[in-house]
Amino acid sequence: MKEHNAHNGALLSVRNLRTYFHTNKGLVRAVDRASYKVDKGAFVCLIGESGSGKSVSALSIMGLIDTSPGIVGGEIMFEGTNLLEDLGKYCTINSNGSSIDIVKDISGWRKRHRLNIAGIRGRRIGMIFQDPVSSLNPLFTVADHIGESAGLRHDKLSRKQKFEIALEWLSKVRISSPKEVVHAYPFQLSGGMAQRVMIAVALAAEPQLLIADEPTTALDATVQLEILKLLKSLQEEMHLSILFITHDISIGSNFADSIAVMYAGRVIESGPPHAIFQRDNNHPYTDGLLHAALKITTDADDKKFIKGSPPDSVHHPSGCKFHPRCELKSELSDGGSRCEREEPHDIKVNENHHIRCWKYEPGN
């Protein structure tokens, strides 16, 4: 109930999302009871190491998981509608009584899911990816791409109107020679220009929410910064909400209104940047990421470097998923034995600041 209140008024609210895959290595728990939200007009950063479940959570929102998920559960509320509504019909509930839905009728599940997301994917929620050139169709021009996207929002646009809209959007994404670029094919665009075009394509449908999955990772550092500044100014000008996915925590410090940190498929900390960056009052994992980003190398702080590697997604450790790498657990009153045994719940340390770590349980 508490969580429901915390997510009230959000444009997007992901609650206890689980997306698991059956693989020949076993059950991959890609997203495992992750919760996060994006308020109207907010720039939210979803941060975590590679493999932490960031992309699978975004693709779950978009209904774009490319292989059949074995198990799905939780809620994805967007503008008051649960995008996972009624999918339980195509699932069976685990016999051990847990509320995890095992997808039995994959084609029925997919059909229903497609229905749930119809009118939302590409229209109310847009998405851009790491590799912009491969997201564009090589046979179509920039004008075609933007025009088609605008057509999703406005019926019966003429070719000329679509062309005008394409020109307008190219200016909005600060392309310096829109009249040339509008005729270009994807292969003629540089990486940075292609990403601007992708942003224009996604936004021409006038979505409420833009999900950007590592959109700057493949770009040079200077271009990266330009794209980020562009997204930030578009967010402010258009009252757009952005879910920005990145492995780079430093991006969060400059651009985000709020940050959610993912580890092993869970959100282990969330809150505004100033709270998360308070280095004596954050999750040891977040602190390790910050430490690495700031490249502090004094001996005194050495224990703050995150050692080891993220858990294998099939065999998660018991208790807190971070405990095998955590240097802080030994400082707790029980020497960290609870961390090894029991998974921390969401602890509210401050208004809007939540941490899943036993260190923040009163008494520790």
Which residue ranges make up the site for Mg ion (CB under 5 A)?
Answer: 55
Instruction: Give the one entry of Mg ion, ligand ADP, none that residue 21 binds, where binding means its C-beta sits below a cut-off of 5 to 8 angstroms depending on kind.
Output: ligand ADP
Beta bridge partners of 78: 12, 81
Of the candidates 225, 359, 352, the one whose C-alpha atom is nearest the C-alpha of residue 276 is: 352
Q: Shortest approach of ligand ADP to residue 364 CB, angstroms?
A: 29
Of 144 and 213, the one with the shorter C-beta distance to Mg ion is: 213
∠ at Cα 148 (168, 13), nearest 5°?
Answer: 90
CB 91 within 8 A of CB 104: yes
Burial of 174 (0-12, 13-18, 19+ CB in 10 A): middle
Q: Which is nearer to ligand ADP, 122 or 311 (CB)?
A: 311
For Mg ion, which is the closer residue by CB, 47 or 275?
Answer: 47
- Choose between 48 and 126: whose C-beta lies nearer to Mg ion: 48
How far apart are CB 72 and ligand ADP at their closest, in Å? 13
Of residues 23 and 364, the one with the C-beta less far from ligand ADP: 23
Instruction: Round to whole Å and give the CA distance between 337 and 26.
Output: 28
What is the closest distance, in whole angstroms, from the C-beta atom of residue 30 to ligand ADP in the complex? Answer: 3
Nearer to Mg ion, 6 or 209 (CB): 209
Is there a contact between 289 and 261 (Cβ–Cβ < 8 Å)?
yes
CB of 66 to ligand ADP, least distance (A): 6
Decide which of Mg ion, ligand ADP, none touches 51; Cβ closer than 5 to 8 Å per partner kind.
ligand ADP
In whole angstroms, the minimum distance from the beta carbon of 214 to Mg ion comes to 6
In this structure, what DSSP letter does residue 52 have?
Answer: S
Q: Distance (Å, rounded) from C-alpha 306 to C-alpha 289?
A: 7
- Residue ranges binding ligand ADP (CB under 6 A): 21, 23, 28, 30, 48, 50-56, 66-67, 313
Least distance (Å) between residue 53 CB and ligand ADP: 4
Q: How far apart are CA 93 and CA 89, in angstroms?
A: 10
Query: What distance in Å separates the CA atoms of residue 56 and residue 44, rounded to the nearest whole number?
Result: 17
